[in-house]
Each structure stands twice: as structure tokens, then as C-alpha cells.
Chains A and B, each alone.
Chain A
Amino acid sequence: MSKKLTLTDVLVTVVIALVFSLIYKIWGPLYSFLSVFGLHIDQLIYGMWFMAATVAFLIIQKPGVGLLAEIAAAQGEFMFGGQWGISLLLYGFIQGLGCEVIFALFRYKSYRLVVMCLAGILAGIGSLWLDTYYGYIGDLALWNLLLYIGARLIGSIVITGVFAYYLVQALEKTGVTNLVRPVSRDDYRALEDGR
């Protein structure tokens, strides 16, 4: 039951992150059009950025996966000339760290919905913290700022937490999660009993 990441874990995590950055990249422009009005509707789907972290963690269940997934999502976007440039790498790092802190607080052993929502919230807070430097969001009119924070956090809870949780449950039915999930004590016990 090694907790160290193997090459398989790393590759699978990176690929999960790339799938999400591809999906985000295709729908992203639709929503960034909405942000032309300055009312932050686009913030509602911001949580898709952190989704890679929670999904990858639920599948691989090892320390470091959340952070790695976020960095991978950011670098995928960056390497292919994503419009946001180098800012992505720092954002990805901080958001991944946010998720990772929550997973660590539960000692990487809790895979409940609540934990995923908390991870989403902390990742959202991390990105908002960077926004105070990179977006001067502290200087927005109060109602607009609250709308911004509210939309970002609601999006984080719903998408990063709830959607990711149910998505992995659905994915488990396909059987692929068994390929990459580390073997548990139950698996060993099942072997013993079978003899």
C-alpha cells in the first residue's frame, strides 16, 4: 500500500487534467462572452478549473495528486498558447495547494462529498486571493465584489465538489477506476478469504 506516486499515477493524473482542460477550453469561450457585461456570470463555471484535482484525487487516492492535477491542467493550457499566459501556472499551483490542504487535513483517507466541497471552497479562496493582486478585486464596488465572490464559491462547491463526486461514482461503474486505485486492505482480505 505504497503512498508514493508511481509513473502510472502521474500519467493518469496528467491525462485526467488534460481531459478537463480540453472540455473547459471548448466551453470556456462561450462563458467568457458572458463576462463582457461585467456581471460575473462566467464565475459560476470557474469551478471546472479545480474539478481535475478532486476527480483525480477520488480516482487515485494518493497524496500530491490534487496539486499535480492542477499544475498539469495549467501547463496544458499554457503550452498551447492559452490566452491567459503565464498567470495560469501560478493560479494552478495555488488552487491545487488549496485542494491538497483539505485532503491532507483529512489525512487523505476521507473521500466524502463534504470533503470535496471543502476542497473546492479552499481552491476558490486561493484563486480569489490571487485575484486581489492580479485583478484588484478589492477595489470593486461592494455589491459587485460580493457577486464575484459568491458566484466563484457557488461554482466551486457545485462543480468541484458535487459534480466531481457524482462523476467519479458514475465512472466507477465503467470499471476503469479499479485499474489505477491502490489496493486496499479489503482487497487483501478478499484474497485471504478466497483461499
Chain B
Amino acid sequence: MQLNFSYRTTWLHQVNPSVKLSILMIIFIGLIFIHNPNMIVYIGMGTSLLYVFYTGHRWVTIGLLFAPFILIFVTTSVAMVLFGDGETTWFRFGIIHITEESFYRGLHLGLRSIVFGLFGLIFALTTRPVLLFYSLMQQFKLHPKYAYSFMAAIRMLPIIAEEFQVLRQALKIRGINYEKGIKGVYQRIRLYAIPLLAQSIRRAHRIAVAMEAKQFSQSEQGRTYYYPLTYSFYDLLFFVIVSGLLVCSLYLAISFPIFPVVNVR
């Protein structure tokens, strides 16, 4: 299936990639200190607004990319809901023990992973990988050998994916039977990883030699860049909007709580 990933450029695309990444990392670390599920719900709502209206992608893309979050929500919350510690028992059957505390804690975890996922998607959908690395070189002084290696490797990804498909078809047509259990896992890893690694390392080595010859690894002063990136008004805008989102969520969580629990720890 050929997906159409065309999009219109929004203000989120204009934010400097390094700034965007830094702000998201700060939010990510800050969110572990929030144990109030109400606040997470409101943050989630705000983030969804950004995701749905300001990433500039088509509705189909936005909807399709959101689908895995339902599975993520279930997988991150289920163990805590069913097997978490708690006092107020709601339901008990065999090893399953659902308590009020564990239920809200599980809910909190599930919602929080959705928030992380949404921020991740907002970043991925509004940032071109190439610009991220150019920006890291210019704003954060990342050594060019890392930046250009990452960019070159990203361009090799489609080739690796294609080789993976070919391998899968080749193994299928030869009627491969996988062994059961742990041996089967190793067999799969070996059958795929060895040819893929061998080919990719050879290719990477050739490309790297060529890149070194063209001085991609040099980092003396005064290096010029094909894409010059600077800070702009949009960086401030992004910061203000994201902090506004957090402050509003805190206010709403205190004034209009949805769940009766304010701390899941």
C-alpha cells in the first residue's frame, strides 16, 4: 500500500529541531514527577489538539498513526491494573486482584504512555531528520562525523528493509521450518541478522571511506552548512504554548478533577 505523506507546513515545522527536541526531553523527564491522573488527562487533551490540528498531515495519516496507541494503552496498563498492589479490593479471581489504587495507577501509566507517544509523533511528523542533524551540528556543536553518519545511515534504511523482504521471500520459497522455543528465536535472528549485517557493514564501510575522502569527518572552525539553521520567534512560541498547556492542565486538574484520585503513588 502506498501511503501519501504529503503535508502542509505549519508553525511546528518552523521551530528549530534542537530546541524542539530539548523542550520535549524536559517534558519527558518532568512528567515522571506528576502522579495526578487528572493532570495527565488534560495534558493528553492539549497534546492531541496539537497533534490533530498543527502537524499539518492528512486526516488519514493522523488517524492511522494514532491506532497503535490503543494497544500501547492496554499493554502498559494491564499488568498494573490486574496485578498491582492496593488496599481497596474491587475484584479478585485467582491470581487477578484488581484494587482501586492499582486501577488508577494502571490508567495513569496507560495515559502517560499515550502522551509520550503523541509528543514523539508531533516531533517525528514535523521534523525532517536531515534538518535535525544539521541543527544539532550548528546549535549544539555535534561533531560532523556523528551527524553525517546518522544521515547516511538513515538513507540506507530502505535498502536494508528491501533486503529483509528478499531474505524473507527466499527463506519462504526454500520452505524453512523454524525450531520451537528459544532455539527458534536464535535461528530466526541468525538467519536474518547475519546476511543483513554482512551486507550492511560492507556497504557502510564503502560509503564511509568515500565520505572520509570528501572530508565529511572534519570539524575545523568556519565549516559551512548547506542548510543554515538559527533560532527564531517560533522557538519562543513553541515554548510558550507547551508551558501554557502544562499550566492550564494543572489548573484544570485542580478545579475540575475527572477521577476521585489525585495521587497514584
Taking beta carbons and an 8 Å cutoff, which residues of A are in contact with B? 5-8, 10-12, 14-16, 18-20, 22-23, 26-27, 32-33, 35-40, 42, 45, 48, 55, 59, 68, 72, 75-76, 78-90, 133-136, 139-141, 143-144, 148, 158-159, 163, 166-167, 170-171, 174, 176-177, 179-180
B 141-161 binary contact with A (CB < 8 Å = 1; else 0): 000011011101110110011
Judging by beta carbons under 8 Å apart, are A135 and B120 in contact?
no
Contact among B78, B79, B123, B149 with A10 in the assembled complex (CB-CB below 8 Å): B149
B61-90 CB contacts (< 8 Å) to partner A: 65, 68-69, 71-72, 74-76, 78-85
CB closest chain-B residue, reference A136: B105
B residues 89-142 in Cβ contact with A at 8 Å: 95, 97, 102, 105, 109, 112-113, 116-121, 123-125, 129, 132
Query: Quick one: which of B71, B112, B146, B153 contacts A15, CB cutoff 8 A?
Result: B153
Q: Chain B: residues with CB nearer than 8 A to chain A?
A: 24-25, 28-29, 32, 65, 68-69, 71-72, 74-76, 78-85, 95, 97, 102, 105, 109, 112-113, 116-121, 123-125, 129, 132, 145-146, 148-150, 152-154, 156-157, 160-161, 164, 182, 185-186, 188-190, 192-194, 196-198, 200-205, 207-209, 211-212, 216-217, 264-265
Given contacts A144-B79, A167-B190, contact A78 B157 (CB under 8 A): no
Q: A18-B156, A79-B154, A179-B201 are in contact. Are A11 and B117 (CB under 8 A)?
A: no
A47 to chain B, nearest CB (A): 10
Chain A residues lying within 8 Å of B185, measured Cβ to Cβ, are: 45, 159
Can you identify 10 A-B contacts, CB atoms within 8 angstroms?
A8-B204, A22-B196, A40-B79, A83-B71, A83-B117, A84-B120, A85-B117, A139-B80, A148-B79, A179-B201
Are A16 and B200 touching (Cβ within 8 A)?
A: yes
Nearest chain-A residue to B216 (Cβ)? Answer: A7
* A160–chain B nearest beta-carbon distance, Å: 12
Given A16-B201, A141-B85, A158-B182 in contact, is the A11-B207 Cβ separation under 8 Å?
yes
Residues of B within 8 A of A144 (CB): 79, 83
- Complex CA gap A82/B119 in Å reads 11
Closest residue of chain B to A40 (Cβ to Cβ) is: B79
CB pair A141–B198 under 8 Å, yes or no, is no
Looking across the interface, which residue of chain B has its beta carbon closest to that of A154? B182
Of the candidates B32, B97, B120, B211, the one whose C-beta lies within 8 Å of that of A11 is B211
- A42 to chain B: closest residue by CB: B75
Chain B residues lying within 8 Å of A10, measured Cβ to Cβ, are 145-146, 149
A136 to B32, CA, bound (A): 10
In the complex, residue of chain A having the shortest beta-carbon distance to the beta carbon of B195: A174
- Which B residue's beta carbon lies closest to that of A45? B185
CB neighbours of A11 from chain B (8 A): 149, 152-153, 204-205, 207-208, 211
A85 with B121, Cβ < 8 A, contacts A19-B200, A20-B193 known: yes
Cβ–Cβ < 8 Å partners of B85 in chain A: 139-141
**Please, which residues of chain B bring their CB within 8 A of the CB of A7?**
145, 148-149, 208, 211-212, 216-217
| Chain A residues whose CB sits within 8 angstroms of the CB of B129 once the complex forms | 79
Listed residue (A8, A27, A88, A89) with the most chain B CB atoms within 10 angstroms of its CB: A8
Contacts of A136 in B (CB 8 A): 80, 84, 105, 109, 264-265
A86 contacts B120, C-beta separation under 8 Å? yes
Kindly provide the distance from the CB of B167 to the nearest chain A CB, expressed in whole angstroms: 11
- CB of A8 within 8 A of CB of B209, answer yes
- In the assembled complex, the CB of A57 is this many whole angstroms from the nearest CB of chain B, namely 14
Known contacts A8-B205, A36-B78, A144-B83: does B120 contact A139 (CB below 8 Å)? no
B265, chain A: closest CB distance, angstroms: 7
Closest A residue to B117 using CB positions: A85
Beta-carbon contact of B24 and A37 below 8 Å? no
The answer to whether residues A32 and B211 also contact, given A23-B189, A136-B105, A179-B202 and a CB cut-off of 8 A, is no
A180 vs B235: C-alpha distance in the bound complex, in angstroms? 41
Known: A18-B156, A78-B124. 5 other contacts (CB 8 A): A12-B204, A14-B153, A38-B79, A48-B189, A140-B85
Q: Which residues of A contact B118 (CB under 8 A)?
A: 85
Q: Which residues of B contact A6 (CB under 8 A)?
A: 145, 208, 212, 217
A174: contacting residue among B120, B132, B198, CB under 8 A: B198
